[in-house]
């Protein structure tokens, strides 16, 4: 059923087989099973970029003396990343500081809890890619997808086929054999040249190196991009899809299969990617419903027709902090004030006026770690909203702290004992105030300054889906 050695057509043929199977399933009653690849071009060219040891690179740019020493970026007791000098000495991402120091006593540590510089650089990279192509989608801080299908079609029209070659590596293909394949895959061959140009632009303009993957869809581009690291790129040919999927060490390695999904798959007895490929679609539908079953089956086969969705201006701005225990109203108020101060500063730089405020808390729960967030929201009065986006932001902090504490009291009885492990403050319903505040041309204008280097924090930005720019 899953033989895919020879061509993309075979992949499609195989899908049809199991799609039919899903459609015949008694669980697909609504006819909601999406047929694949109906709207996407036959030969998409998708690039995936992932910067090398990102936080460490930013620190090395800020302080070039760090370039040649083993460098680890520390958040709490963890090395969230380290440069490649440190990796050569056995340090790995997400190692404890103790283990990392054991492996490499000379390791230089830089605190990485203040994300300001990483965030700024992250948006500059996205902006740079956007200046070449409108279809850019951010994925985390150091990754971007770019759909260059149209650019390639234009280039192809003016490129003599005889001159085609690949830049960089071709997955599972010796370099001596790669160029012979270029004429069979002209889009991907040209895509590899565009990827090299974009990597060069990122390097020459921003000083950053990174890896790129070139493939026919987002899933495969992401999977192939890290094949050779650092500062290299790899193209995946359709005939190697089976190889790259088969080489994954488990289901969790498939982008899009998270912890919970993997657990449910494991409960069905599925551990390897091949297990999922071969699992009867009807049984998968029974467990996940038709849409998710289809998606999972597709992913296991390396099929992904999800579009590169341009990342626009954020729809909301929020900030949060997590901690072991917070149990007094005074601490809560101080934390909210601290979070709001930096959030209001970010909001002011954004230029839009927020109309909704939301407070989220997480109560300690030994049993239900994943679903213990609670939130309340309310409109922001116009006069307060105006202060947020003007110079009188101190007033805004005071007024919003009081709003936040009212929301807080709706979730927590402060006269009884409580135990919080997280507080999140969020502005949404962001509206442009007028011609002077609008029209900021780049994503970089959503840089967020001024966050304080406290305990582990995740900055959350809800991205608005906009059309191509």
Give the footprint of ligand DCP on this chain (CB under 6 A): 50-55, 80-81, 93-94, 141-142, 229-230
Q: Residues 15, 59, 143, 320: which is the catalytic one?
A: 143
Binding at 59: pick from Mg ion, ligand DCP, none (beta carbon under 5-8 Å per type): none
Picked from ligand DCP, Mg ion, none, the partner binding residue 246 (CB below 5 to 8 A depending on kind) is: none
Cβ nearer to ligand DCP, comparing 141 with 357: 141
Nearer to Mg ion, 222 or 297 (CB): 222
> CB 121 → Mg ion: shortest distance, Å?
12
Tell me which of Mg ion, ligand DCP, none is bound by residue 338, counting a contact when its beta carbon lies within the kind-specific cut-off of 5 to 8 angstroms.
none
Residue 230 touches which member of Mg ion, ligand DCP, none, C-beta under 5-8 Å by kind? ligand DCP
Closest to ligand DCP by CB, 14 or 99: 99
CA 269 to chain centre: 29
125 binds, among Mg ion, ligand DCP, none (CB under 5 to 8 A by kind): none
The set of long-range contacts for 429-433, using a CB threshold of 8 Å and a minimum separation of 24, is 429/354, 429/355, 429/356, 430/313, 430/314, 430/315, 430/316, 430/317, 430/350, 430/352, 430/353, 430/354, 430/355, 431/352, 431/353, 431/354, 431/355, 432/351, 432/352, 432/353, 433/351, 433/352, 433/353, 433/389
Burial 100-127 (b: 16+ CB within 10 A, else e): bbeebeebbebebbebbebbebbbbbbb
CB of 63 to ligand DCP, least distance (A): 16
Q: How far is the CB of 143 from Mg ion (least distance, A)?
A: 5
In the complex, residue closest to ligand DCP by CB: 81
Q: Is 150 a catalytic residue?
A: no
Q: Which is nearer to Mg ion, 54 or 171 (CB)?
A: 54
Q: Which is nearer to ligand DCP, 41 or 207 (CB)?
A: 207
Nearest to 238 by CA among 195, 273, 191: 191
When CB distances are held under 5 to 8 angstroms depending on the partner's kind, the choice from Mg ion, ligand DCP, none that residue 58 binds is: none
> What is the residue whose two structure tokens read 């296991």?
300
186 binds, among ligand DCP, Mg ion, none (CB under 5 to 8 A by kind): none
Nearer to ligand DCP, 231 or 272 (CB): 231
Provide the minimum distance between the beta carbon of 83 and ligand DCP in the complex, in angstroms, as a whole number: 9
Name which of ligand DCP, Mg ion, none residue 80 binds, using a CB cut-off of 5 to 8 Å depending on partner kind. Answer: ligand DCP
Rounded Cα distance, 347 and 341, in Å? 10
Q: What is the distance, to the nearest Å, from the Cα of residue 95 to the centroid of all Cα atoms in its chain?
A: 21
**Min CB(212)–Mg ion separation in Å:** 11
- Beta carbon nearer to ligand DCP, 55 or 446: 55
Closer residue to ligand DCP (CB): 93 or 376: 93
Positions that interact with Mg ion (CB under 5 A):
50-51, 54, 142-143
In angstroms, give the least distance from the CB of 140 to ligand DCP.
6
Could you tell me the smallest distance in angstroms from the CB atom of residue 90 to ligand DCP? 15
* CA within 13 Å, CB half, 1: 17
Q: Kindly state the smallest distance separating residue 457's Cβ from Mg ion, in Å.
A: 18
If we measure between CA atoms, which residue out of 64, 99, 68 comes closest to residue 84? 68
Q: Which residues are catalytic?
A: 143
């Amino acid at each position: 059923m899953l033989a895919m050695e020879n061509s993309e057509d075979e992949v499609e043929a195989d899908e049809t087989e199991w799609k039919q199977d899903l459609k015949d399933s008694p669980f697909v009653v609504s006819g909601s099973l999406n047929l694949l690849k109906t709207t996407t071009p036959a030969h998409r060219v998708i690039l995936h970029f992932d910067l090398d040891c990102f936080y460490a690179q930013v620190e090395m740019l800020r302080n070039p003396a760090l370039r040649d020493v083993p460098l680890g970026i520390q958040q709490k007791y963890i090395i969230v990343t380290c440069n490649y000098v440190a990796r050569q000495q056995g340090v790995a991402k997400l190692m404890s500081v103790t283990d990392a120091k054991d492996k490499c006593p000379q390791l230089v540590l830089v605190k990485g809890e203040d994300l300001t510089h990483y965030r700024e650089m992250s948006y500059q990279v996205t902006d740079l890619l956007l200046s070449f192509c409108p279809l850019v989608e951010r994925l985390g801080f150091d990754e971007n997808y770019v759909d260059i299908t149209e650019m390639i079609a234009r280039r192809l029209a003016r490129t003599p086929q005889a001159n085609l070659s690949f830049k960089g590596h071709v997955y599972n293909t010796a370099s001596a054999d790669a160029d012979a394949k270029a004429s069979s895959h002209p889009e991907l061959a040209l895509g590899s040249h565009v990827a090299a140009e974009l990597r060069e632009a990122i390097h020459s303009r921003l000083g950053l190196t990174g890896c790129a993957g070139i493939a026919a869809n987002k899933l495969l581009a992401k999977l192939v991009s890290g094949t050779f690291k650092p500062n290299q790129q790899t193209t995946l040919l359709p005939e190697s899809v089976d190889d790259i999927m088969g080489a994954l060490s488990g289901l969790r390695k498939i982008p899009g299969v998270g912890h919970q999904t993997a657990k449910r798959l494991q409960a069905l007895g599925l551990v390897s990617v091949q297990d999922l490929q071969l699992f009867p679609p009807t049984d998968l539908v029974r467990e996940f419903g038709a849409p998710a079953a289809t998606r999972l089956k597709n992913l296991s086969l390396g099929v992904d027709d999800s579009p590169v969705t341009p990342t626009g201006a954020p729809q909301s701005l929020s900030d949060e902090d997590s901690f072991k225990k917070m149990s007094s109203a005074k601490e809560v108020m101080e934390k909210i004030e601290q979070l709001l101060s930096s959030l209001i500063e970010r909001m002011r730089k954004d230029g839009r006026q927020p109309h909704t405020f939301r407070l989220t808390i997480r109560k300690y729960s030994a049993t239900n770690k994943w679903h213990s967030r609670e939130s309340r929201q309310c409109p922001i009065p116009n006069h307060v909203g105006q202060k947020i986006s003007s110079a009188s932001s101190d007033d805004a902090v005071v007024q919003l702290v009081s709003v936040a504490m009212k929301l807080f009291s709706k979730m927590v009885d402060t006269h009884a004992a409580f135990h919080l492990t997280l507080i999140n403050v969020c502005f949404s319903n962001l509206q442009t105030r007028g011609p002077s505040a609008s029209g900021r041309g780049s994503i970089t204008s959503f840089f967020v300054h001024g966050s304080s280097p406290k305990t582990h924090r995740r900055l959350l930005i809800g991205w608005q889906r906009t059309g191509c720019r």
